Structure 1
């Protein structure tokens, strides 16, 4: 049915080539494309300049990629029905079909961005994919697809003992791409299910997600190669070469991947743990196959290879119950009431909102008798240490300062001996 429609349409177009009708149709098509392009350019400028309110900006920003072909298609349909009784409109019909195909293809490719989200590669190649599919559909709608396929099939060459042609290579590439997209979509669905499960340990969820994606990609590659007639046994040679490469040139990369799986399986680290690694201190925000991301308290992120966490000493400040001890150091003078100062520290620690409701959550000890005073340490156990402790320490110090002032307890400061100061000044004056 489609072939008959195309044949009739092309017969009408060929007949119009010798008449003024073809020129009028070309003029109408060019005018509509120019008007649609100007409207699309104006819309883009309005969105970039921020002269569109938030609601319309979200709406128009979503259809910006569809605006040009959609407007041109609607105008062509209007022109087609308006000129139908005056002249032949074969060219307008063909152009309308092409633009409708472009609208549908761009919509589908745009939806894929959310199906495979987050997918930076799909965002980068979105236009390439859309134009490639549109060219194929346009050739089919115009009736040139079969001749084009025959031309590609006639381009033949040999790779070893296997006879190939250009059409087979293109079909193989498309098969691999489609199979990989399907595999990534299925793995994405499984990943969402696994990550949403609360019955599985967090580390095991990460391991299962990575294994699912790896298995899906390998199976998709094998299935696509078998579908296009490529012997999969040739991968054994590639596998051997890859093993040699991992053994020599990729030792560090392989070591980091293996270390990542070891860390996830032995449950030594978890998301949200507070760690000290070398001179870095922060919260674990991501556990990847090759590295870990540690967010420091100043907001910067440190990428640490997994091998480092296996070979170096790592201090985990977070217990299995996700609680941590926050120390507060204070030095008071010898003239101050020591027992009263320790009692105040205990009360300040227990009254803070983040302190655990536990009799052993607060502890006050004497650290040392220093030259200028007595060193005391208040230790407070808090939950969710990944939320940070800087603000907590500031609030505790402020509360201690207020209570000490109210109770006439003096915080020790370094005082220089007046005789030393006078001697220093005299030496300076003689010089």
Structure 2
């Protein structure tokens, strides 16, 4: 490390010395030309890479943005190196030598993050964190380079070590906290990658229940993150017993403000463990009816038959009544009703109804459909037919519509009448033609009688 420091310091001294030489203009021109050529070559390579990524699956495009960013600095480092090699016998090339250092450093950083993104492509959380860390590392690298060029890195480290913060009964320096944060980021990324690989293996296991797979993968992720945090703090030298202070504060917070959140998380694990709900179940929760599309640790997503998704807190699924239409039975019963005239043949009508349900898609033949005379109405006899449908979560309206159309056609072909509503209205007029009169009484004609009454 000391050898590298002395070499870079010598480069800077040579550059400062060359700035007093008129030949520095040729170095500036050579560097500008090399960077211009590098920009054109990098754009050509980037265009070819983009065309290549457009034809590959999305899973293989992980880290493509970092690889494209690394093109210009890496190509620039190579072109500047070639120009420096070609001009070394004619002019001084200290400016080109110094310019190669940041170009190589930034290019290697982007290339490293490209490899990390390919490695963590299975974890969405790790990929998002890498995008954030990549920007931070680039800024940190430029800042570190400026500090190194100015030669104040020793003073900066001493200043960070002198600033101490009290944590419980112990005090930690700012340098220790920064180092700990870097270790935490690294170990957390490693834990997220390991949890993504483990989750992929668990999800591919065929002998494990789907809910149990989710529980195991989430428990593994939580355990790996806790272990990564404890290991990183121990590597830095931070006494993890000071976390007891934060643990106590977290317990108080859970007891008051975070009670509902904690209840939802606990309820989520209960649902996943007792398998009362599974992904794909057809459920009714209060006024919401649909299929379970996601079971998260805090909430469950129910997708209605109209496509609208409802987010239900897991606590509601534990404390309220939930109708699970697919808990032990994955098929559903559908019914159609029709009314026939009293003059129709009931037996024939029932046979025609049973025949109408045959060969309809998603209608099961076992259990067999049934038809019954459900009652006698004012206009005709009420018939009802029930049949079992496969995958009722996909909806039954289309099936019932097909069955009703076939019933209507078969009834028309066989002369079975579906009666209209008929009502008989009688107007009774039983008032006397002349109201009884008494002595001295006034006789008035009833206005409800027409002029023809008594004729």
TM-score, normalising length: structure 1? 0.81
Judge which range, 135-144 or 195-204, deviates more: 135-144
Q: Which residue of 2 aligns with 1:232?
A: 240
- The structure 1 residue matched to 2:69, chosen from 65, 69, 89, is 65
Q: Which residue of 2 aligns with 1:157?
A: 163
Unaligned stretches of 5+ residues in structure 1: 421-431
Matched, 1:381 2:388: yes
Matched, 1:396 2:403: yes
Local SS of the residue matching 2:357: helix
Deviation of 1:221 after TM superposition, in Å, equals 1.4
Paired residues of 1:16 and 1:88 also in contact (CA < 8 A): yes
- The structure 1 residue matched to 2:357, chosen from 318, 330, 349, is 349
Paired residues of 1:292 and 1:306 also in contact (CA < 8 A): yes
Matched, 1:132 2:132: no
C-alpha spacing 1:253/1:127, structure 2 compared with 1 (3 Å) = closer
What is the number of equivalent residue pairs in this alignment? 415
Q: Which residue of 2 aligns with 1:362?
A: 369
TM-score, normalising length: structure 2? 0.77
Judge which range, 142-151 or 251-260, deviates more: 142-151
**Residue-by-residue CA offset, 1:12-43 (whole Å, 9 max, x unaligned):** 43332222343443444456657777998999
Deviation of 1:253 after TM superposition, in Å, equals 1.3
Question: What is the 5 A alignment of 1:302-313?
Answer: 302-313=310-321
Paired residues of 2:38 and 2:72 also in contact (CA < 8 A): yes
Q: Which residue of 2 aligns with 1:102?
A: 106
Deviation of 1:208 after TM superposition, in Å, equals 1.1
Deviation of 1:277 after TM superposition, in Å, equals 0.6
Q: Which residue of 2 aligns with 1:91?
A: 95
Paired residues of 2:165 and 2:174 also in contact (CA < 8 A): no
Local SS of the residue matching 2:163: strand
Local SS of the residue matching 1:20: coil
Distance in structure 2 (CA, Å) of the matches to 1:120 and 1:102: 24
Deviation of 1:286 after TM superposition, in Å, equals 0.6
Distance in structure 2 (CA, Å) of the matches to 1:95 and 1:330: 88
C-alpha spacing 1:106/1:195, structure 2 compared with 1 (3 Å) = same
Paired residues of 2:113 and 2:130 also in contact (CA < 8 A): no
Provide the alpha-carbon RMSD of the alignment. 3.8
Distance in structure 2 (CA, Å) of the matches to 1:399 and 1:181: 62
Q: Which residue of 1 aligns with 2:84?
A: 80
C-alpha spacing 1:85/1:397, structure 2 compared with 1 (3 Å) = farther
C-alpha spacing 1:40/1:327, structure 2 compared with 1 (3 Å) = farther
C-alpha spacing 1:91/1:274, structure 2 compared with 1 (3 Å) = same
Judge which range, 202-211 or 268-277, deviates more: 202-211
Distance in structure 1 (CA, Å) of the matches to 2:245 and 2:261: 21
Judge which range, 310-319 or 154-163, deviates more: 154-163
Unaligned stretches of 5+ residues in structure 2: 427-455
Question: What is the 5 A alignment of 1:284-303?
Answer: 284-303=292-311
Judge which range, 240-249 or 270-279, deviates more: 240-249
